[in-house]
Amino acid sequence: MALWSTIPRAAAIGTTALAITLAASACGGDSGGTSTAAPAPGGVKLVNAGKITTCTNIPYEPFEFNQGSDVVGFDVDIVNLAAKKLGVTQDIVDIDFAAIKSGAAMNSGKCDVAAAGMTITDERKQNILFSVPYFDATQSLMAKKDSGITSLDDVKAKNLKLGAQASTTGLDYVKGKGFNPVEYADSPKELLALQTGQVDVIVQDLPVVQTWLKKPEIGAKFAQVASLNTGEQYGIGMKKSNTALAKVIDEAITAAKADGTYNAIYKKWFGTEPGAAPSATPTP
């Protein structure tokens, strides 16, 4: 993902006291804002006036990925619901997922929200204010079509090498089952490791695996060999004190689910409506 925006930093001007004062004002206060920009409707303070700045990790298709010069995906469309409600545009920042899931990206004023296919967990709630859930997720295993793998038990019994994306709930899940997987910084590196034989099987979010398998060159050789029912839900992350923004996002998601907009967005990226069987139609 391209980095569209940066956050201005207070310059060291005059005395040390003045520099400290300017820096403090750039970080906002208890209202949840992170800059001195004029508030958006509803008293929401944004990092940059006229924009809702989203931190994400690219690519994570179909949730966020590059399409030509644009960043598109399911998460992008969900945040756009809130942007429309606020009368602003969305600005996207691509950063490491570890900085997102820890809350550091929002708490440091890098962005207003995090939308990165991020599962809501009790651990993450300690540092992040989450929106209402906007996507029901689970994990899956992906391997060569002739692997003979149908479960994690098979991976263990065959002493196969397992790969996982760093800082993810998929990684946490297999570690909890006694595995010590090879960790990869992002999903493309994890997929490449499988394609090149560095690992025998990988664990990844089910929608991501299904999207990969729609690509002919991948679907011809690999398959989703098992589903891991982890019962996860994704949420939009914000700074803990940013309750005004959370209210707007919750209202936007809730309204979209009620009026059919959410179903339309879901079908656009997954080829089916929520709860239906996956479609073989490629994502846009």
Asked whether residue 227 carries a pLDDT value surpassing 70, the answer given is yes
Provide the CATH number for the domain around residue 105: 3.40.190.10
Tally the domains of the chain: 2
pLDDT at 23: 34
State whether 84 and 108 are in the same domain: yes
Going by pLDDT thresholds of 50, 70 and 90, the confidence category of residue 38 is: low
pLDDT at 43: 82
Q: Calculate the average pLDDT of the chain.
A: 86
Q: What angle do CA 61, 63, 67 make, to 5 degrees?
A: 60
Q: Average the pLDDT over 73-85 and give the result.
A: 98
pLDDT tens readout for residues 166-220: 999 999 999 999 999 999 999 999 999 999 999 999 999 999 999 999 999 999 9
State whether 195 and 67 are in the same domain: no
Q: Is residue 10 part of a domain?
A: no
Going by pLDDT thresholds of 50, 70 and 90, the confidence category of residue 155 is: very high
State whether 192 and 226 are in the same domain: yes
Asked whether residue 25 carries a pLDDT value surpassing 50, the answer given is no
Q: Is residue 93 part of a domain?
A: yes
Asked whether residue 111 carries a pLDDT value surpassing 50, the answer given is yes
Asked whether residue 35 carries a pLDDT value surpassing 90, the answer given is no
Token code pair at residue 103? 């809350």
Q: Average the pLDDT over 139-149 and give the result.
A: 96
State whether 130 and 212 are in the same domain: no
Which structural domain range is residue 97 located in? 16-134+235-270
Match 């980095």 to its residue by tokens: 3
Q: Is residue 147 part of a domain?
A: yes
Q: Is residue 219 part of a domain?
A: yes
Q: Is residue 4 part of a domain?
A: no
pLDDT at 42: 73
Going by pLDDT thresholds of 50, 70 and 90, the confidence category of residue 9 is: very low
Asked whether residue 244 carries a pLDDT value surpassing 80, the answer given is yes
Q: Is residue 2 part of a domain?
A: no
Q: Is residue 278 part of a domain?
A: no
State whether 56 and 182 are in the same domain: no
State whether 129 and 241 are in the same domain: yes
Q: Is residue 5 part of a domain?
A: no
Measured distance CA(267)–CA(280) in Å, rounded: 12
pLDDT at 11: 35
pTM, whole model, 2 decimals? Answer: 0.77
Share of the chain above pLDDT 70, in %: 83
Measured distance CA(158)–CA(227) in Å, rounded: 18
pLDDT at 276: 58
Q: Average the pLDDT over 39-54 and give the result.
A: 88
Q: In sequence order, which ranges of the chain are alpha helices (DSSP H)?
A: 16-26, 74-86, 97-101, 104-107, 122-125, 152-157, 169-176, 187-195, 206-213, 216-219, 243-259, 261-270
Q: Which of 279, 161, 262 is nearest to 210 (CA)?
A: 279
State whether 20 and 122 are in the same domain: yes
Mark which of 212, 232, 252 sits at the end of a domain.
Answer: 232
Which phi and psi angles does 192 have, rounded to 5°?
Answer: -60, -40
State whether 86 and 148 are in the same domain: no
